[in-house]
Amino acid sequence: MDGMNVSVWGLGKRYGSVRAVEEISMDVRAGEFLSLLGPSGSGKTTLLMMIAGFEMPSMGKISIGDRDVTYVVPNRRNVGMVFQRYALFPHMTVADNIAFPLRMRKVPRQDATRRVCDALALVQLEGYGKRLPSELSGGQQQRVAVARALVFEPPVLLMDEPLGALDKKLREQMQIEIKRLQQRLGVTVIYVTHDQEEALTMSDRIAVMRDGSLEQIGSPAELYDGPATPFVADFVGKTNFLEGECRSYNGTGLEIGIGQSGFIRLVQCPPALTVLPKPGDRVRLAVRPEQIRLLRPGEADGPALEGVVETVIFVGSFRTFLVRLPGGELVHVQVHADHNASHPGEGDRVSLAIPGHAVRVFGQARC
Q: In whole angstroms, how close is the CB of 176 to another protein at the nearest point?
A: 24
DSSP letter assigned to residue 133: G
- 81 contributes a contact to another protein by CB under 8 A: yes
With contacts defined by CB under 8 A, name the span among 133-141, 240-248, 262-270, 337-345 that binds another protein: 133-141
Q: How far apart are CA 246 and CA 164, in angstroms?
A: 43
Q: Which parts of 265-294 interact with another protein (CB under 8 A)? A: none
Q: Is 318 helix (H, G, I), strand (E, B) or coil?
A: strand
Q: Which is nearer to another protein, 120 or 232 (CB)?
A: 120
DSSP readout, 195-264? -HHHHHHH-SEEEEEETTEEEEEE-HHHHHHS-SSHHHHHHSS--EEEEEEEEEE-SS-EEEE-GGG-EE
87 binding another protein? (CB under 8 A):
yes
Please state the closest distance from residue 23 (CB atom) to another protein, in A.
Answer: 25
Q: How far apart are CA 320 and CA 331, in angstroms?
A: 10
Binding mask 14-53 for another protein (x = CB under 8 A): --------------------------------------xx
Closest approach of Cβ 240 to another protein, in Å? 39
Residues 88-107 close enough to bind another protein by CB under 8 A: 88-91, 100-101, 104-105
What pairing do the DSSP bridges indicate for beta strands 318-324 and 263-266?
unpaired
Q: Does 122 bind another protein (CB under 8 A)?
A: no
Candidates 67, 56, 73, 57; CA nearest to 6 is 67
Query: In the window 52-71, what residues touch another protein (CB under 8 A)?
Result: 52-54
Which residue from 29, 31, 28, 24 is spatially nearest to 1, judged by alpha carbons?
Answer: 31
Residue from the set 31, 43, 57, 80 that interacts with another protein by CB under 8 A:
80
- Rounded CA separation 94/116 (Å): 9
Q: How far apart are CA 225 and CA 323, in angstroms?
A: 23
Binding status of residue 163 toward another protein by CB under 8 A: no
* Comparison of 147 and 331: residue with beta carbon closer to another protein: 147
Closest by CA to 332, choosing from 278, 274, 275, 289, is: 289
86 lies in the binding site for another protein (CB under 8 A): yes
Looking at the Cβ atoms of 79 and 181, the one nearer to another protein is 79
Based on the shown chain and the rule CB under 8 A, indicate whether residue 152 belongs to the binding site for another protein.
yes
Give least dist CB 85 to another protein, A.
Answer: 5
List, in order, residues 6 or more apart from 107 with CB less than 8 Å away.
Answer: 115
H helices of 20-89, in order, are: 44-52
Q: Which is nearer to another protein, 77 or 332 (CB)?
A: 77
Q: State the number of binding residues for another protein (CB under 8 A).
A: 32
Binding flag, residue 121, another protein (CB under 8 A): no
Least distance CB 131 / another protein (angstroms) = 11
- Which of the residues 223 through 252 are near another protein (CB under 8 A)? none
Query: What length is written for the chain?
Result: 367
Positions in the binding site for another protein (CB under 8 A): 52-54, 73-75, 77-81, 83-91, 100-101, 104-105, 132-134, 138, 141, 148-149, 152
